[in-house]
Amino acid sequence: MPDIATLAVFCAATLALLLVPGPAVLFIVTRSVSQGRSAGLVSVLGVHAGSLVHVAAAALGISALLAASATAFTVVKYAGVAYLVWLGLRKLLHRKPGEEDEDALAIPRHSRRRMFWEGFVVNVLNPKTAIFFLAFLPQFTDRHAGPIGPQILLLGALWIALGLLSDGAYALASSALAGRIRGSARARRRLDVGTGVVYLGLAAVLTGEKA
């Protein structure tokens, strides 16, 4: 296993990376703003359940195959793009009857299961995350300290623990700031449009990634 000094450096580097908003943070923030703290926290759990898949894949060498195969990268990339485009268009185009009446519109709610799986799918279908784990985690392993796979699993577990904390903080902060906005049907519609634009923007980012 890596020594304490290596783990400390890894945790510091991980926090620095996690605090920079990326696709997962944008997904969590838009969920928190549009549907509240609970939705944001459930989305955090879904996103990092997806991280478990990437960590396991990195440990098993599947990410290496993904990095080496342009076809595999492209298939996964465009599956993720299609899903994000679907989410974005659904937000942009969906209007409920009576939406113009601010007093008549109730806050839309999705089941926690649905929110969890949307976060999971968005993260699992992001090949950039798989490639990142493949490139980042092995830098802190030591071939002389034992098998590489278990070391990657340990580092991945630390990444996920720190990610839950940092992304959870983003969810709590964004939901706290959005309470008044969610009280207005017109503002909620604008949030839906903003969320749709974010989803489409994430799709565009993935499309721009080269195999």
SS (H, E, C) the chain: CCCHHHHHHHHHHHHHHHCCCCHHHHHHHHHHHHHCHHHHHHHHHHHHHHHHHHHHHHHHCHHHHHHHCHHHHHHHHHHHHHHHHHHHHHHHHCCCCCCCCCCCCCCCCCCHHHHHHHHHHHHHCCHHHHHHHHHHHHHHCCHHHCCHHHHHHHHHHHHHHHHHHHHHHHHHHHHHHCCCHHHCHHHHHHHHHHHHHHHHHHHHHHHHCCC
pLDDT (mean) for 27-41? 85
pLDDT (mean) for 146-168? 90
Comparison of pLDDT for 4 and 62, the residue scoring more: 4
pLDDT (mean) for 12-19? 82
Give the confidence band of 57 by pLDDT, cuts at 50, 70, 90. confident
Q: Look up the domain containing 142 and give its range.
A: 4-208
Question: Of 71, 21, 87, 49, whose CA–CA distance to 164 is shortest?
Answer: 49
Cα(176)–Cα(1) distance, rounded to whole angstroms? 40
Give the confidence band of 76 by pLDDT, cuts at 50, 70, 90. low
Number of domains in the chain: 1
Query: What is the predicted pLDDT for the residue at 179?
Result: 61
Query: What is the predicted pLDDT for the residue at 49?
Result: 95
Query: What is the predicted pLDDT for the residue at 97?
Result: 47
Question: Of 106, 186, 132, whose CA–CA distance to 22 is shortest?
Answer: 132
pLDDT (mean) for 81-104? 64
Cα(130)–Cα(154) distance, rounded to whole angstroms? 16
Calculate what percentage of the chain has a pLDDT beyond 90.
17
Query: Which stretch of 3-7, 15-19, 50-54, 190-194 has the lowest confidence by average pLDDT?
Result: 190-194
- The distance from CA 121 to its chain's CA centroid, rounded to whole angstroms, is 9
pLDDT (mean) for 161-184? 81
Is the pLDDT score of 89 beyond 70? yes
Comparison of pLDDT for 132 and 195, the residue scoring more: 132
Comparison of pLDDT for 104 and 113, the residue scoring more: 113
Give the confidence band of 208 by pLDDT, cuts at 50, 70, 90. low
Query: What is the predicted pLDDT for the residue at 63?
Result: 65
Q: Which two tokens stand for residue 75?
A: 């298939």
pLDDT (mean) for 84-102? 65
Question: Of 200, 190, 211, 208, whose CA–CA distance to 87 is shortest?
Answer: 200
Give the confidence band of 58 by pLDDT, cuts at 50, 70, 90. confident
The chain-wide mean pLDDT, for the chain, equals: 77
pLDDT (mean) for 117-128? 83
Q: Is-contact 172 37, C-beta < 8 A?
A: yes
